[in-house]
Structure 1
């Protein structure tokens, strides 16, 4: 894989920051976030300031030197503004910690689709803990219900698109299929055996269950919100 396909949290945060417009207020929110951590106002965030902030906000998983060192890209022992912007991005975008090894997951991960739709807290694991040879986690739902973050987003996108289509069906079988698709998006995403007519009907059937789906609002409700 070419190097330019790999992008760090710092680079992602920088892209959001540099492409923001005055109307979104993202730059001011990021600056306020930095100032709230920089207790002594010396223009950088020390490990002590970082740990105190994490404790104050109840971000237990993130309040450790391992995360701080991962953010300290230049290795100077403190966090500069854009490194703190990466932290802001991680918190606001809900980047997960592995439910197996407990480490922060900077890249691809697998999430339980049932928990994603129905629980207050999602459950995600890193690829190593999820792989068959390294089952390093305990969870109530089976691996078949897990999707990687890219597949999960695509499955939800297709369901959201289907929800905007025709009125609900009267066919009980189709309604049952739709309920199953919402609860188990992996089967809908990967199945090749579903007939075209059934899937077309099911696509139009998701409307009555729209309340069971999460709204997919990205930048506005996440990065450009003033709540942490």
Structure 2
């Protein structure tokens, strides 16, 4: 059994996408979702910090690791994807060149595509006051990164290797929120084709539908803002 500490954000979706696709392919990974309501401050609870010291979700606890030993906890979405790929032998090529290609694009996402789009969200939607320089800077970087991905996907069904991989799980949830960062996918036809084809897969549909169970449209309050943007790892 895998405990998935989750909230329906792009980083959370990465893991449910992997798990649903792996199970559809026959991996039989039993998992249980442990909601982490980041707007309510669940990410600062001591039990969660014990497995995710950066007070960010997702995180997992694998109660049946492949070495047969004690439970293993993993935090950071990229590390979780790599762990699950090693556990199942799926979605990461067996040859060194294929692994390099997948890992390049996985780290491209966790180091750039996700963080820059996240800053775009913050300064265009959540900042208490508009900062024109920040809005322009992150919108331009968002568009640059979409351009990188669009060129990569020219003539390719998937981002890396010749089949679905960790790179696709990492990037798709961010592209899925393109409206949040003011991007018209029609400007990036290769990204749009890739996004739409993956979004039509049954496992992807299940993963995204699952998120709706936990998603609640709430008005941003000062308390939520403090939990999301201002709290230390151990608030007073």
Q: What is the TM-score of this pair, normalised by structure 2?
A: 0.25
More strand by share: 2
Q: Which has the higher contact order (CA 8 A, sep 6+)?
A: 2
